[in-house]
Chains A and B, each alone.
Chain A
Amino acid sequence: MATKIKVEHLSIHYGNIKAVKGISFEFTRGQITTLIGANGAGKTSSLKCIAGLLPAKTGKIILDKDNVHIEITKMTPADRLRCKIALCPEGRGVFPNLTVLDNLMVGAYLNKDHKKILELVEQQYELFPKLAERRNQLAGTLSGGEQQMLAIGRALMSEPEFLMLDEPSLGLAPVIVEQIFDKFVLLKKQGLGLLVVEQNASLALEVSDYAYVLETGTMTLNGTGEALLKDSRVQEAYLS
């Protein structure tokens, strides 16, 4: 049985502003799921809510492990990490004045096993050899692509089973974006469940197993990545 995260009728409000209005979707281990939507559609809010940074107004977030349901809607961010759900935040959010190595170490905060942490660091260096070269450099001096790699590596330091990525391609050159998406495919094959949020959807849809379209807080479309790539409405709005 597959392990997945199910989001049911989730609403998120900022005071009077209804950012997300009762959306439902799910993402599964060993798959890439994409959430596409224009600026302000509510993508970041949804991810933050799943990570525990924002409260849900209504609805539930459920971790479904072989049909055992664990509701995580009210858990703290740390407890959700313990449930193996990690977020790579929008705008990367690396710690600019910490070294690459220290950034990774903070990512393993909940892990108290020092030997294991060093092993995990090596794993990230293997995944992104650029980071190994720059291990003692301050993160703020890395290029945009390297910072994104670091942000992903740092999120992976918590050994997640689910990784949510908020616009990982933002501001990066197409070649770099392709490299990073190649790693997503690799991670998926290792059993990770990825939820990728994007505005620019073509590459994300190409690699994704399933995809959802979010418009001003509501889900309007969903289907396999392939199907959505061919959909005329998607082509018009997100693939131009």
Chain B
Amino acid sequence: MNFVAKNKLLFFFISFVAVGVICQFALNSYIQALVVSFMINAIMALSLNFITGVANQFSLGQAGFMALGAYTSAVLTKVFLADQWYFIPLTALAGAVVATVAGYLVALPSFKLRGDYLAIVTMGFAEIVRVLFLNWNFVGGPRGYNGVVKWPEFLISYGFTGLALFLTFMVLYHLKISWFGRNLWALNEDEIAAEVMGTPIAKNKRFAFLFSAFFAGLGGALYGHHLGYFSPASFGFLMSVQILIFAVLGGLGSMSGSILAAGILTALPEILRSLPTGGLDIRMIVFPILLILLMILRPQGLLGRKELF
């Protein structure tokens, strides 16, 4: 059991501040926005990696929890809190809680069954959430939710999103290496044996799922306040798949891998965008090919189950 050591934390903190300062003074707002996007993607990837990588429960509904977090936080700030940005940390937390409650409702029936039913249930769940918002005119329906309060400054956005990412990582990483995580690994690897040992497999899966929903909701809330606008289409099936790609590429079970993959996959499309292509959008060809190559060469993802430190 190796907790993240103090000196490593200090190192991370100093690098974090340094990157923030560089972004603020040396780089344009486009790059600044990308950095925040990366951190949100990392939160989403981590949230999925815990349930799918550690507990081996294939979930395809992260976008649904994300939407719940985004809409909850946006509505709360707009309707009750006069669009004051400093309430965002609180409303984002509320968004995460709403997503957790929804996660509980999804988890109740899902884990009575074995096998890949969860993928179907969660996919259906995300679709229901999307259609609900699509038909709710108060939040813009299909036109989307406009004028969501944004962070006033890059450094504030960077700081709070970074803090959220840090918390997500620390909680999920320490859960992974904990006694609870060991039981999740056990059921991941041999469900029958884990059950024979008396571990409550349904309860453990449910519990892991709640954490996953919570952090997906948190990521969704931050997503909304980062962009200032989103619509039900933002939280479609493609979003769930994209999050899954982050987690798989980084390595299912590797928390630092998820962050690494989120970084690469946030930057890569932008780098490809700048390639000289003579009008052809080569990005959408190169990008999938790179992914396919990577999965052939390293099917366990970049880091497998290991951590970077």
Nearest CB in chain B: distance from A89 CB, A: 6
Could you tell me if B193 and A89 are in contact, using CB atoms closer than 8 angstroms? Answer: yes
B288 proximal to A (CB < 8 A): no
Question: When the two chains form their complex, are residues B198 and A158 in contact, meaning their CB atoms are under 8 A apart?
Answer: yes
With A95-B186, A97-B189 already in contact, the answer to whether A106 and B199 are too (CB < 8 A) is yes
Within 8 A of A (CB), among B20-71: none
Residues of B136-189 contacting chain A, CB below 8 A: 179, 182-183, 185-186, 189
Across-interface contacts of A63 in B (CB, < 8 A): none
Q: How close is B51's CB to chain A, nearest CB, in angstroms?
A: 17
In the complex, B4 has a CB within 8 A of chain A: no
List of B residues within 8 angstroms of A98 by Cβ: 182, 185-186, 189
A110 to B189, CA, bound (A): 19
A53 to chain B, nearest CB (A): 6
| A102 x B182 contact (CB < 8 A) | yes
Q: Determine which of B192, B197, B200, B305 lies in contact with A106 in the assembled complex, contact meaning CB atoms within 8 Å.
A: B197
Q: What residues on A are CB-neighbors of B305 within 8 Å?
A: 97
Q: Which residues of A contact B190 (CB under 8 A)?
A: 93-95
Q: List residues of chain A with CB within 8 A of the CB of B134.
A: none
Name the A residues within 8 Å of B116 (CB-CB): none
Residue of B nearest to A92 (CB): B193
Residues of B within 8 A of A158 (CB): 197-198
Interface flag for B194 (CB, 8 Å): yes
Min CB gap B294→A, angstroms: 22
For B194, list chain A residues within 8 Å (CB).
95, 106
A87 to B192, CA, bound (A): 10
- Enumerate chain A residues within 8 angstroms of B199, measured Cβ to Cβ: 78, 106, 109
B182 lies within 8 A of A89 (CB)? no
Decide: A95 and B193 in contact? CB cutoff 8 A.
Answer: yes
Interface string of A38-73 (1 = CB under 8 A from B): 000000000000010100000000000000000000
Residue of B nearest to A110 (CB): B198
Q: Which of A84-100 contact B (CB under 8 A)?
A: 86-87, 89, 93-98
| CB atoms of A77 and B196 under 8 A apart | yes
Contact in complex: B182, A154 (CB < 8 Å):
no
Q: Is the CB of B182 within 8 A of A94?
A: no
Residues of A within 8 A of B200 (CB): 78
In the assembled complex, the CB of A114 is this many whole angstroms from the nearest CB of chain B, namely 10
Q: B195 an interface residue at 8 Å Cβ cutoff? A: yes
Residues of A within 8 A of B198 (CB): 77-78, 81-82, 109-110, 158
* A103-155 at interface with B (beta carbon < 8 Å): 105-107, 109-110, 154-155
Residues of B within 8 A of A105 (CB): 179, 182
Nearest chain-A residue to B195 (Cβ)? A77
Which chain B residues lie closer than 8 Å to A107 at the CB level? 197
A-B contact list, 22 entries, CB within 8 Å:
A77-B196, A77-B198, A81-B197, A81-B198, A89-B192, A89-B196, A93-B190, A93-B192, A94-B190, A95-B185, A95-B186, A95-B193, A96-B189, A97-B305, A98-B185, A106-B183, A106-B186, A106-B194, A106-B199, A107-B197, A155-B196, A158-B197
